[in-house]
Amino acid sequence: MTHGFTGLSLDGRILRALGEEGYSQPTPVQQQAIPHALEGRDVLAIAPTGTGKTAAFTIPIIQRLGATKPKPAHLPRALVLAPTRELALQVEASMRAYGRHMPLRTAVVLGGVGFGQQVGALKRGVDVLVATPGRLLDLMQQGVAKLDAVQVLVLDEADRMLDMGFLPDVKRIIARVPSPRQTLFFSATMPREVAELANSLLREPARIEVETRPTSQRRIEQRVLYVDQGAKTALLSELLRDPAMKSALVFTRTKHRADRVVKQLRRLHVEAAAIHSNKSQNARQRALAAFADGDIEVLVATDIVARGIDVDGITHVINYDVPDDPENHVHRIGRTARAGAAGVALTFCSAEEVDKLRQVEKFTGEKFEVATGHAFESAAAGNRHEQASRPAKTFQQPRKGRGRSRRRGRGRRQHAAAVAA
């Protein structure tokens, strides 16, 4: 049993940086992955968002590269592939934070911004390169990004790579990375194609698997609010009046809907911004920075960026729309209750979304508590969800000598939960 990060045989400069970041205890995935990675083993880690996976691979990379001199000096020695721009920026920021006392150079290459600054960074030389697949391939084809000296390869959120159609690009990039090397493979889930990719890349890996259903984290308090579609923004505005809702991340189903919600909130004098794939990278970074700094109180996002938003202190995640894919619910709520903090996840559900909510409950294995008593409560949604939740009845022949079978009354628990924490 180790005693916090000090028991993981880390360089004192890394421990100092972790202390400055306020971290003293590793999460389960860090506790298990870091020792294997420090030994040079390949690692296969299956863990949901919000469990500290980024530090689980960034810390060993910093320690390994900080102990040796680069040869040749200008080529990256570690490559981290991430599916989204936000996630790539998050990883690069973590590298800088944990390695601030180490003589390492990092760079991030991603789409949505000009090539000039990224080309310049690569020409000056980097130790750690964090990249999204598309932009990295562009730079490789231009002869600017060279992977000949890569010693450590990381695939972060591999299942998201699959969802976004990046696996062919990822395979093309990996074909240019030297072997032997150390490969660290992280994924929230393990569908067949991702498992096949892992098997083709990893050599006798240390397999790490932590709880894959973060909705079971007791520090995330989940509630459902029944509401008609047309009243969702009014309900959101009412909730935002609660002083406890200090930082709210709102998820909508579409980009158009995200922009519309922001416009409606601004008319109600609520500081809000939208972040989705139609926004330029600079606009997305400005919105994230303003949200992190507290300059705006509400950030409205789509699922495409759910896994890349890593902002400390998000008190509430609000599912303005129930997601089409129940797995996205898990990634959405993983934005709160991070690093041991508590959080609240509220899901707005209209009558039209009850079937989707049932799929989320089935996927997570939970029946969410219902928050009643708000001004926009929808009886139609509540009744439909109640009926959908009842077990199906099966016809049975009455037993001989018995009359009509008696109906057993079903007790109904009434929830009097507050609408907001």
Residue 320 lies in a domain: yes
d(Cα 343, Cα 315) in Å, to the nearest integer?
5
To which residue do tokens 């202190």 refer? 313
Amino acid at 341: A
> Quick check: is 399 in a domain?
no
- Decide if 77 is inside a domain: yes
Report the predicted TM-score, pTM, of the whole model to 2 decimal places: 0.67
Which pLDDT does position 404 carry in this prediction? 36
421 residues of the chain, pLDDT tens digit each: 446 898 899 999 999 999 998 888 898 999 999 999 999 999 999 987 767 899 999 999 999 999 887 666 689 999 999 998 888 988 999 999 999 999 899 999 998 888 999 999 999 999 999 999 999 999 999 999 999 999 999 999 998 888 888 999 999 999 999 998 999 999 988 889 999 999 999 999 999 998 645 444 447 889 999 999 999 999 999 999 888 888 899 999 999 999 999 999 999 888 999 998 888 878 888 888 888 888 898 999 998 766 667 777 888 999 999 998 887 888 888 788 765 667 899 999 999 999 999 998 888 888 888 998 899 999 888 888 877 665 444 334 334 443 333 333 333 333 333 333 3
Closest among 325, 328, 313 to 215, alpha carbons compared: 328
Q: Are 73 and 86 members of one domain? A: yes
The pLDDT of residue 211 is 67
End of a domain among 184, 209, 234? 209
Domain-located, residue 392 = no
CB distance 262 to 66 below 8 Å: no
**Residue 172: inside a domain, yes or no?**
yes
Q: Cα 359 to the chain's mean position, in Å?
A: 20
User: Domain end: 209, 232, 258, which one?
Assistant: 209
Rounded distance, CA 192 to CA 220, Å? 30
Tell me if 414 is assigned to some domain: no
Indicate if 234 and 137 belong to the same structural domain.
no
Same domain, 126 and 236: no
- If asked whether residues 196 and 252 sit together in one domain, one would say no
CATH number at residue 44: 3.40.50.300
141, 251: one domain = no
243 and 368 co-located in one domain: yes
Residues 200 and 218 in one domain: no
| Same domain? 292 vs 236 | yes
Residue 243 sits in the same domain as residue 311:
yes
Q: Is the previous residue joined to 180 through a cis bond, with omega within 30 degrees of 0?
A: yes
In a domain, 50, yes or no: yes
Question: What per-residue confidence (pLDDT) applies to 356?
Answer: 92
Strands (E), 325-380: 343-349, 369-370
> 380-399 burial, b if ≥16 CB within 10 A, otherwise e?
ebbebbeeeeeeeeeeeeee
Q: Has residue 402 been placed in a domain? A: no
Domain that holds residue 220: 214-386
Residue 130: per-residue pLDDT: 97
Cα dihedral 74→79→80→81 (10° resolution) = 110
Taking the CA atoms of 290, 334, 236 and 320 in sequence, report the sign of the dihedral they define: positive
Same domain, 334 and 200: no
Please tell me whether residues 366 and 341 are part of one structural domain.
yes
Query: Are 201 and 253 within one domain?
Result: no
Q: Please give the tally of structural domains in the chain.
A: 2
